[in-house]
Homo-oligomer: A and B are copies of this chain.
Amino acid sequence: MYQIQTPYLLFLGDAPDQLAAKTARGINDWRPEKVVGQMSLENCKADLGLPELGLQEAYDKGARTLVLGTANRGGVISAVWMDVLKEALHIGYDIANGLHNKVNDIVDVAGLATQLDKNIYDVRHPTEQFPIGTGEKRSGKRLLPVGTDCSCGKMYTSLALEKEMLSRGMNATFRATGQTGILVSGSGASIDAVVADFMAGAVETIAPANEDPNHWDIIEGQGSLAHPSYSGVTMALIHGGQPDAMVLCHEPTRSHMRGLPHQKVPAIKEVLSLATTLAQIVNNDAKFIGICVNTSQMVARDIEGYLKKLEDEHGLPACDPYSQGTAKIVDMVS
């Protein structure tokens, strides 16, 4: 498994709005100590409030990887971007790319990297050959967030749990399964880009046996068992991850599953039951230890009451991992 060099210079390019830079924002939210600054082009409408640095200036401050953390306009890597990439390689940077477009497909940029012995990481496109999963019990402990839907806060939940565990002196590692997570941690596998036969094996590879029986792998969740586009990926995460503990992630304001107006959001109770049954196929002890709610779209005064209701209904601690932290949930396993 590769390990992307840090610190990073976050390239914001010519992002049309703040949302386009959400990958860069995620990196800076969770690993500010790995970030030297940001670099914007003309007309960039995103700003992370970091020092604005040129390539050479950031390199001199220690940056070793240029991170493409912004959606690119029109879905193509423009000529202006290519000049930046080539200059970065000449200065001595590796490139880590969170876009769908592969920098390794740009012949003269990829050729230059080879010539200069620099790395290009197209993190959405795994290059590693993973084994077929086995479901064999591995030492150490594992935690997996399981969502009622896609994009409801599973990565933030994972990172908040890791932060809380580390702050208590517990031994824990975030294991990334998507592009932002990989750029945050510097390692992992974009599980939704792995060939079907090897999905579970990829999860087993990124969350391997750990010598410390009390070490926690916090595996980034993906998709939802109730999302027909991606449920197979979620299934592979449950069986490849063989979690001891699961945390349900929920966004309470959705009127339907993300991107699918015809598909209703499942009841929390159903997902708790279904995921527990499936996880126990590979780990008899698998159970839910809490509920993480993404409250960002809720009316503020409703939040406490809603969380209390969830706790009463499901007998599990419930919190917003981002605004409240995950102490209540980590209490369940520490």
Contact = CB atoms under 8 A, between A and B. Distances in A.
A184 interface: no
A266 B135 CA distance: 14
A281 B134 contact: no
A262 B134 CA distance: 9
Residue of A133, A195, A197, A262 contacting most chain B CB atoms (<10 Å): A197
A147 B199 CA distance: 20
A226 B281 contact: yes
A200 interface: yes
A117 interface: no
Interface stretch (A43-51, A56-64, A232-240, A326-334): A232-240
Contacts of A91: none
A9 interface: no
A195 B201 CA distance: 14
Copy count, this protein chain? 2
A137 interface: yes
Contact of A195 (B134, B196, B263, B281): B196
A200 B225 contact: no
A206 to B, nearest CB: 14
Interface of A: 132-137, 191-197, 199-201, 225-226, 228-236, 238-240, 242, 260, 262-263, 266, 270, 274, 277-278, 281-282
A118 to B, nearest CB: 27
Contacts of A197: 192-193, 229-230, 233
A200 B229 contact: yes
B240 A228 contact: yes
A133 B228 CA distance: 7
A232 B132 CA distance: 12
Contact of A232 (B134, B239, B266): B239
A143 B98 CA distance: 39
Nearest to A201: B229
26 contacts: A133-B229, A134-B228, A135-B229, A192-B196, A192-B197, A193-B196, A194-B195, A195-B196, A196-B196, A196-B236, A197-B230, A197-B233, A200-B228, A200-B230, A200-B231, A225-B235, A225-B281, A228-B239, A228-B281, A228-B282, A231-B238, A231-B281, A234-B235, A235-B235, A266-B281, A270-B277
